[in-house]
Structure 1
Amino acid sequence: MSTFSIPCDHGQQSLLVNCTPDLNKDDLLRFPAFQIWLSTLRYSLKRQQHPSHEFHKDPYVLRKIVIQAVDFFKGGRLGFIKLKAEVSNKNGESLPGSVFLRGGSVGILLLLQPDDVHSSMEDEKRAILTIQPRIPAGSLAFAEIPAGMLDDNGSFAGSAAKEIQEETGLTIPQDELIDMTSLALQSIAGTEDVDTLQKAVYPSPGGSDEFIPLFLCQKRIPRKDIEHLQGRLTGLRQDGEKITLKVVPLKNLWKEGLRDGKTLASWALYKGLKEEGKI
């Protein structure tokens, strides 16, 4: 276990970090997931300075970070970090600080409609689900919308288009994607969430930093092309992806993918934005 410090802003005391031997200070500070998580937490803690904040009289402070475990991807790229953040106030009260750092992902609600019907016919729309092994969930056939992790230098829209191509075989230009989370957040501009958090949904904020912007892609294509997607085997086999596509009526998406949080969130966003006339 190595120990080093990270400088803090505004003349505050440096932050102490205890780290596993397989991770050095420079690699940690370059890890996008760590950068985003730390800057977001520091911003939230700084908001306690305002007299109206609930914790203003006895503010919480990030006192120490303990890196407990590290996972690397192929090629030695830093993948996941398990850490413990010690956050407490002067009264000795602490906040739960076990964190699984994995960074951002993207999810895509891909809706296909036969081009032989009118575009207003919602009942004719079909959603694409991927069925694949998800070992963390203990499943070899987990149903979810197309999704994937962000590359270190990838854009949200670019990553979404890439995942659609890899998981469905369809090539979608980035400018045809609608960022539903950003669009929905416009109606609550000025709130604390907008100021401090990513424009995304957080599927498990009690234990992980993962945030997922949810995109919408709607395409009108020949009916036979939609039918040919049913049961197609896709995914990057060299990366261990074994994906089968499932085409379901949009009206059934909520129950076909009910175990997947991002699928339900994308369905809810689509319904809400549709009702407000924003898509």
Structure 2
Amino acid sequence: MLLQPNDVPESAESEKRAILTIQPRIPAGSLAFPEIPAGMLDDNGSFAGGAAKEIQEETGLTIPQEELVDMTSLALQSVDNPEGGETLQNAVYPSAGGSDEFIPLFLYQKRMPRKDIESLQGRLTGLRQDGEKITLKIVPLKDLWRTGLRDGKTLAAWALYKGLKEEGKI
């Protein structure tokens, strides 16, 4: 999820900010793990719907599902099928050697008042009834790779964004 102040031109890439969630990830041994918001399938079996719902739960921001851009599908449009006819999901496989988990990566970009973006920094969110204790961290897009380097989803999303942007697809 990328935010950009609405007081700068849309082309001002240096003004874009990414939202990260900081939350405990006990299997990783961290009580403050930075990562992009992520979700599961929604009740209708939609990844986009699940992503929109999770973004709302984790950030407090409501986003229309139809405004999500599936970066993995978009990137795969220009890739030959090197799998020899295998049917793989249009997604990233974070640990293909040990798990069948796959993650489609979505982009949502929003322009909003600078003060509203700044007010998200450090906001406490998450569903308390589910034991979620999430803090939002707003980082410049140029620093996303560094701040989220331990999270494979974050790095994959950053790389897809950079590649698709460079090719003029987003």
What's the TM-score bracket when you normalise by the shorter of the two chains? over 0.9
Distance 1:245 1:157, change over 3 A: same
1:234 pairs, out of 109, 114, 125, with 125
Aligned to 2:30: 139
Alignment map for 1:132-171 (pairs within 5 Å): 132-151=23-42, 153-171=44-62
Contact 1:185–1:194 (CA under 8 A) maintained in structure 2: no
| Pairing 1:184–2:75 present | yes
Distance 1:226 1:194, change over 3 A: farther
Question: How far did 1:151 drift?
Answer: 4.2
Contact 2:40–2:51 (CA under 8 A) maintained in structure 1: no
Question: How far did 1:188 drift?
Answer: 1.1
**Secondary structure, counterpart of 2:53 in structure 1:** helix
Contact 2:42–2:49 (CA under 8 A) maintained in structure 1: no
Aligned to 1:80: none
Q: Distance in 2 between matches of 1:240 and 1:210?
A: 24
Aligned to 2:101: 210
Distance 1:258 1:113, change over 3 A: same
Q: Between Structure 1 and Structure 2, whose CA radius of gyration is higher?
A: 1
Aligned to 2:66: 175
Whichever residue aligns with residue 201 of structure 1, its letter is: V
Q: Distance in 2 between matches of 1:263 and 1:155?
A: 21
Aligned to 2:169: 278
- How many residue pairs get matched? 170
Q: Distance in 2 between matches of 1:236 and 1:176?
A: 24
Distance 1:193 1:252, change over 3 A: farther
Q: Distance in 1 between matches of 2:22 and 2:13?
A: 24
Q: Distance in 1 between matches of 2:163 and 2:22?
A: 26
| Pairing 1:123–2:19 present | no
Q: More relative contact order in 1 or in 2 (CA 8 Å, sep 6+)?
A: 2
Deviations 1:125-161, CA, capped at 9 Å, x for gaps: 0000000000111110000000122246420110111
| Pairing 1:198–2:89 present | yes
Contact 1:132–1:243 (CA under 8 A) maintained in structure 2: yes
Q: Distance in 2 between matches of 1:129 and 1:156?
A: 19
**Secondary structure, counterpart of 2:78 in structure 1:** helix
**Secondary structure, counterpart of 1:147 in structure 2:** coil
Distance 1:233 1:206, change over 3 A: same
Alignment map for 1:42-61 (pairs within 5 Å): none
Whichever residue aligns with residue 122 of structure 1, its letter is: E
Task: Identify the structure with the greater strand proportion.
Answer: 1
Deviations 1:220-264, CA, capped at 9 Å, x for gaps: 000010001000000111111110000000000000000000100
**Secondary structure, counterpart of 2:101 in structure 1:** coil
TM-score under structure 1 length normalisation: 0.59
C-alpha RMSD over aligned residues: 1.3
Q: Percent identity at matched positions?
A: 84
Contact 2:41–2:49 (CA under 8 A) maintained in structure 1: no
Contact 2:124–2:133 (CA under 8 A) maintained in structure 1: yes
Which runs of 5 or more residues in structure 1 are unaligned?
A: 1-109
Which runs of 5 or more residues in structure 2 are unaligned?
A: none
Deviations 1:6-32, CA, capped at 9 Å, x for gaps: xxxxxxxxxxxxxxxxxxxxxxxxxxx
Question: How far did 1:216 drift?
Answer: 0.3
Deviations 1:97-132, CA, capped at 9 Å, x for gaps: xxxxxxxxxxxxx00000000000000000000000
